[in-house]
Structure 1
């Protein structure tokens, strides 16, 4: 049983970001969403809420320091050594098919990996040719990247390839912070009832 997810609609503020996420859910060909802003701005909560809206869509976080092989998939060594045949072992992109691929601190990824993610997100297909393997599979996912500009910029050529880039740079006002706390406490005390209220 999966843990309940805080609903996208219940997030206080961030209306432009919620709209951008919903538009990408309607048409993934838009090219994903890049969210700029400091920590504590509910970026991952919004992305999880989006995955929940997709009706069974998975929420996959790209592991920090993931290699290209881990992302696209590679040769299954157990099959190669044990059975003497080449077999494809799927990676992160296969796991994200049909859901959301969340890339925290996308600006700290090597440029070639950002390019790779954007290419696959745009085409909806992951093609792998290496180690004697030629394989392709569907990889239709919504790409949500986050970055804190204080930790490094993203090259303009890569920035331009995201469908939307939004900056969250204003801290909530005291009244909004109080509402954030009220909603979070209500969710934590009874997630099903809270989610039903926001369905």
Structure 2
């Protein structure tokens, strides 16, 4: 894949143990300086852990990819599930962005939300709420003067999605989603833009 972006750009991707992050790193290892951090390496929900991780580190790009989901009917859910989804998906995005920008205010932040942040999917109330928060957080960060793009993908072909029985014709491959990420890295969009992305659908700032 050809890009118009400079090589050796340093990129941090949280949720680094996931299939998309691994795929992106494998595909672009010769283009970018990519650092993957998994849940075992960095607990994005803990202020002190994130602060310690970023001490002395600067990145050109930070991709907030760490996420979790607890599908459940509202009346069958419990507060622990809600707290974990909000903590990882929303507070984790806030903490990683905060400490990355403290060290380098020119860092490009790419927040991975979801189409679920726009669509009220049945039995996904905690996940939908957390991803809607990521979208508005991204817009607020951009209004504060930081360079932030929010990507809201639909289903991607990963183990994370396997258990949800999503029709194959609605699932993007990791490589298909990576093409959109590369467009962001190439400067195709403006800070504050939100990209609604499904396999056969793309909407800028829905």
Settle same-fold status: TM greater than 0.5. Answer: no
- Which one has a bigger Cα radius of gyration? 1
Larger RCO: 1 or 2 (CA < 8 Å, sep 6+):
1
